[in-house]
């Protein structure tokens, strides 16, 4: 059975993964990536544009949008060298062309954002989503792509365009 995953990462980190065809979660930890399997669907949520350890900086750089959508490729997690002694784990993903979409556009329709402290769960960095939530997010991201003007013009446009990959998301519901 294929599963659905929400990866929480700053948009600049998501853009690096999009350009390289991979996903990296929880600052490169191996254990969360072992939960994700080939064929699973992944959507990235970016609370901020850039990563910052400072809470004050994060508040000024809010994005709160779904920024990427893909399907996990064959193979397992692998380690890479990013220099300066940093060796994170990654997993290959076939990213689909879809437009970043604000969380606010879906907030009432998603089960994982119901409840008083739903945002606290996002601190885990990786959450499993229901089929209904994944389908709702994918539909809006694919629909937003067809809109001529995007509120996310600062992101590399070549990274976010729809393909026929939308079909499995629509059929999963």
In this prediction, residue 52 carries a pLDDT of 65
Structure tokens that stand for 5 in this block: 């995953």
Confidence of residue 53 (pLDDT cuts 50, 70, 90): low
* Selected residue with higher pLDDT from 136 and 144: 136
Average pLDDT over residues 41-66: 78
Whether the per-residue pLDDT at 22 is higher than 60: the answer is: yes
Burial (CB count within 10 angstroms: exposed 0-12, middle 13-18, buried 19+), residue 59: exposed
CATH numbers and ranges of domains, the chain? 4-172 (3.10.590.10)
Confidence of residue 147 (pLDDT cuts 50, 70, 90): low
Give the separation between CA 89 and CA 9, rounded to whole angstroms: 15
Whether the per-residue pLDDT at 94 is higher than 60: the answer is: yes
| pLDDT tens profile 76-85 | 999 999 889 9
pTM beyond cutoff 0.85: no
- How many Cα atoms within 13 Å fall on the side-chain side of residue 130? 9
Q: Residues near 95 by Cβ (< 8 Å), separated by ≥ 6?
A: 17, 18, 21, 68, 69, 70, 159
Whether the per-residue pLDDT at 166 is higher than 50: the answer is: no
């Amino acid at each position: 059975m294929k599963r659905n995953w929400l990866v929480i990462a700053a948009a600049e980190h998501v853009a690096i993964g999009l350009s390289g065809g991979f996903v990296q979660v929880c600052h490169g930890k191996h254990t969360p990536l072992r939960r994700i399997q080939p064929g699973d669907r992944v959507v990235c949520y970016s609370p901020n544009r850039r990563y910052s350890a400072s809470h004050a900086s994060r508040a000024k750089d809010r994005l709160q949008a779904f920024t990427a959508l893909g399907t996990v490729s064959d193979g397992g997690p692998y380690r890479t060298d990013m220099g300066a002694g940093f060796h994170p784990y990654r997993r290959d993903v076939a990213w689909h062309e879809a437009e970043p979409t604000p969380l606010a556009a879906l907030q009432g329709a998603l089960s994982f954002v119901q409840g008083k402290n739903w945002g606290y769960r996002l601190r885990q960095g990786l959450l499993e989503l229901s089929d209904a939530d994944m389908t709702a997010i994918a539909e809006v991201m694919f629909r937003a792509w067809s809109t001529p003007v995007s509120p996310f013009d600062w992101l590399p446009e070549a990274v976010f365009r729809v393909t026929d990959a939308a079909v499995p998301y629509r059929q999963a519901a």
